[in-house]
Amino acid sequence: MFSIFKEHRHFGKQILLLAKDELLKTYKGAIVGPLWAVIKPAFTLFVYWFAFSVGLKKTGDIEVLIHGNILEFDRFLFMLVGFIPWFFIQDSILMGSKSIRVNSQFVTKVSFPVSTIPTYTVLSRLYVSLFLSAIMYIYVLFNQGASFYNLQFFFYCPFMFMFFLVFAWSTAPMSAISRDFENAVVSIMAGVFWLSGIVYNSYDLPEPLKTIMLFNPINFFVNGYRNAFLYDRMFFEYKTELVIVFVEFVVLFFFGLFNYSRLRKKLPDVM
């Protein structure tokens, strides 16, 4: 743990520069360049909105029970706020898991801190997420107005970044050693989307599904963004869910450190 922290402390400036380069590399050669960071999510959101509002004819608002009262939210706004954290989570899991393999040139360099590869990869996706969040907030302001609860973004966003960063510390070396593991991660992501309350309100699910969803960290962050921008609920109102996610984070943190340290020395030989 201390060796990884030391690598990050002495390599902080380089991490920021590499995150920017990773972002530029993603859109290199494209005519509109970084605008794809907005075009792709916007098109995805439009497709799902069209499927639910037109194809399935579920028009109208979404009803959510909050503090004993049933409130209605515009379907597009509801989906927009849920998709913003999902875009970051999806990219962090997929790109974070393959980050070491696609940057194999750094692994063979003895002086290069390999643990920073997942860090700057996930950080590059955070840049995109912050930009998308700013666009989302402008839309929220026009529809909901500003609220004190919006400040919870500065809790959910950093926590989400740290959660999926330590997740990448574990999955990146495993994917570098086994392409089967990387393919498995890609395969399950579509299913994870439908199990994470992104296009529906998971708090309205019947038991025991509602309780099971509390163990899904993606569901926690999606609902967290909605708590901040739609529901006007504080993060500590769901104490059980909060405790579960923090315990998962601690377990994942130490498992990520253990898995990375266990596989780090094998990477140069395998790659």
Confidence tier at 59 by pLDDT (50, 70, 90): low
Q: Give residue 129's pLDDT.
A: 92
Task: Find the Cα–Cα–Cα–Cα dihedral 172, 173, 179, 183, rounded to 10°.
Answer: -30
Report, as an integer, the average pLDDT of 25-29. Answer: 71
Q: Does the pLDDT of residue 106 top 80, yes or no? A: no
Q: Each residue of 18-28: b (16+ CB within 10 Å) or e?
A: bbeebbeebee
First-last CA distance in the chain: 24
DSSP 241-256: HHHHHHHHHHHHHHHH
What size, in residues, is the chain?
Answer: 271
Report, as an integer, the average pLDDT of 208-230. Answer: 91
Q: What is the pLDDT of residues 153-196, one digit of tens each?
A: 999 999 999 999 999 988 888 888 888 888 888 888 878 888 88
Q: Does the pLDDT of residue 30 top 70, yes or no? A: no
Confidence tier at 32 by pLDDT (50, 70, 90): low
Q: Of 5, 37, 12, give the one whose Cα is nearest residue 166.
A: 5
Confidence tier at 67 by pLDDT (50, 70, 90): low
Q: Is 179 within 8 Å of 270 (Cβ atoms)?
A: no
Task: Find the Cα–Cα–Cα–Cα dihedral 18, 20, 22, 28, rounded to 10°.
Answer: -140
Confidence tier at 109 by pLDDT (50, 70, 90): low
Mean pLDDT, the chain, whole residue set? 84
β strands within the chain, DSSP E: 62-66, 69-73
Global pTM value: 0.88
Q: Compute the distance between CA of residue 262 and CA of residue 229 in angstroms, rounded to an integer.
A: 41
